Amino acid sequence: MAKATKYVSKVADEHGNIAWSAAENQIWHELITRQLSIVNESACDEFIAGLAKLNLPQDRIPQLNEVSEVLNAETGWRCEPVPALIGFGEFFRLLSERKFPVATFIRSRAEFDYLQEPDIFHEIYGHCPLLTNPSFADFTQAYGKMGLNATKEQRVFLARLYWFTVEFGLLDTPKGLRVYGGGILSSPSETDYALNDKHVERKPLEVLDVLRTQYRIDILQPVYFMLTKVSDLDEIRKLEVDDIMALIEQAQALGLHPAKFETKSTSKAS
């Protein structure tokens, strides 16, 4: 979260509104209509239900207060505008207060299919529908509280828990594989890859296993972890902070699993 970015977030006016250009609204339109065309076959039921509640506009980027109004009514969350990248401390604090950080920029057309930084499409379309779900909303807040109580070294391990659930989580449902991770849901290429590629490893989620699994932010993921339903996150949320820290100590003692990719110095995995 502390690395450099070429994007600059927009500043809202005194009413909390952001002036988006016609070109930026067009990018939103193309992104959301493309993802909506496959959402029923790829996303979990909980995401689809949340998407219906948000009723996101397709012709323009929504204002954050529009999204916050729905989130607050459903689960007490709201969107918090932030710069393109924020530090871990601020990230954890916001989540612990049920404030979801949203970088107020949208990707360029050159990075239409994938970008490393979380833009407003990733945050609003990818994550906010599930923030209407009590289990997902409570887990996300609990994760923020875990991070506030963690050391710098422990936060590196905690980042993997967020990555393999909130960002790149899958569900193994009676309907087949479905996506709940926002990093997948906001990327058409990753959606197809995560659900259909025969070389992908898909594993039932065990917290200790997740904490030991390395990842890279700039590639399609070689491994995904599966729950059966979003409410399975309740079992992780109910772990005491001491329990999570004990699991992190176990992960540190056991060491990381061998990377399933070529390691790079820019990776967040180490």
Return the H-helix or E-strand segment holding 227. strand 223-227
Question: Which residues fall in the annotated binding site for Fe cation?
Answer: 122, 127, 167
Say which amino acid occupies 41: E
CB-based contact 161:135 (threshold 8 Å): no
Question: Which residues fall in the annotated binding site?
Answer: 122, 127, 167
The stretches of the chain forming alpha helices (DSSP H) are 22-36, 39-42, 45-54, 64-75, 88-96, 120-121, 134-148, 152-162, 182-185, 188-196, 207-211, 233-237, 241-254
d(CA 153, CA 164): 18
Among 167, 149, 178, 152, CA closest to 245:
149
Say which amino acid occupies 109: R
Residue 243: count of CB within 10 angstroms of its CB: 12
Centroid of chain to Cα 95: 12
45 φ, ψ (degrees, to nearest 5): -60, -35
Residue 197: count of CB within 10 angstroms of its CB: 12
